Structure 1
């Protein structure tokens, strides 16, 4: 009987560790994405994404109107690489909410965006990932951008 409990415990412990490790891997990918983003490293940013990645931004203007914009990932990479070196920008993440189900994951990260140390806007990033050939890749990124309610 004790052997059964020991084997069950070890099996369940391994499941818990496996899920934790996957969450760690996913969070590390998102953190590395933002390191590359801040370094304007379009080559690294391309590596984090699946070739068929989709991007959207939901903008909420000062009057509370909502607009949806679609951006090609290559255009995003070009825009990041073309930011002048004299412009300081930083996206500060305020936590991670990670859900994994097999080979797909969802990551939500509230953020504040600063340009030259001044708050520009805030919002939430939502990443959809797929485990493709043993590696997590971003397949979809949607973010909200608002000047309302930022702290």
Structure 2
């Protein structure tokens, strides 16, 4: 009887681990699709990664030493990605942490941004996503930006 209970417990644990890994992969895919859309100038793909009402912020360190939270317009960003522009916007991220609780996910991703192959800046992107009937959608992005002290 003990062996049966242990076997059932291990089977359930395995299914939970697989479900969590599948959700983690789906969250990462949504984030990666956003950056693929930026590189390819695909505003349709980009829009598909966002939930309606997505919010963008940047944490800005000002020259006077103060810090400010800057709101950015998601629709303007989508429009800019889809409008022909100079160079390829190549934000190279490394997803270092994904946390999921039910239909909410959080992603931490240091990045380096390149215009074509020329380094521009680096920082960290933090994403909040929610699971919808259409899959995981980004609901909030906040980032930092700097030109030095970049993660290797």
Deviations 1:6-43 (A, max 9, x none): 11110111111111111111111111111111111111
Residues 89-98 or 39-48, more deviating? 89-98
Give the whole-Å Cα distance in 1 for the aligned partners of 2:88 and 2:73.
Answer: 24
Match of 1:116 in 2: 116
Contact residue 57 and residue 69 of structure 2 kept, 8 A? yes
Partner of 1:140 in structure 2? 140
Cα pair 2:108 2:127 within 8 Å, conserved = yes
Distance in 1 (alpha carbons) for counterparts of 2:134 and 2:8: 28
2:130 alignment counterpart: 130
Contact conserved, 1:61 with 1:146, CA < 8 A, in 2?
Answer: no
Output one character per residue of 1:69-103: Cα deviation in whole Å (capped at 9) or x when no partner. 1112111111222352x413311113331000111
Alignment of 1:4-43 (within 5 A): 4-43=5-44
CA shift digits 1:56-78 (9 cap, x unpaired): 11223567543321112111111
| TM-score normalised by length of structure 1 | 0.90
| Aligned counterpart, 2:4 | 3
Residue matched to 2:70: 69
**CA contact 1:89–1:117 (8 Å) conserved in 2:** no
Give structure 1 stretches of 5+ with no counterpart.
none
CA contact (8 A) 1:113 1:120 kept: yes
CA RMSD of aligned residues (A): 1.8
Deviation at 1:133, TM superposition (A): 1.9
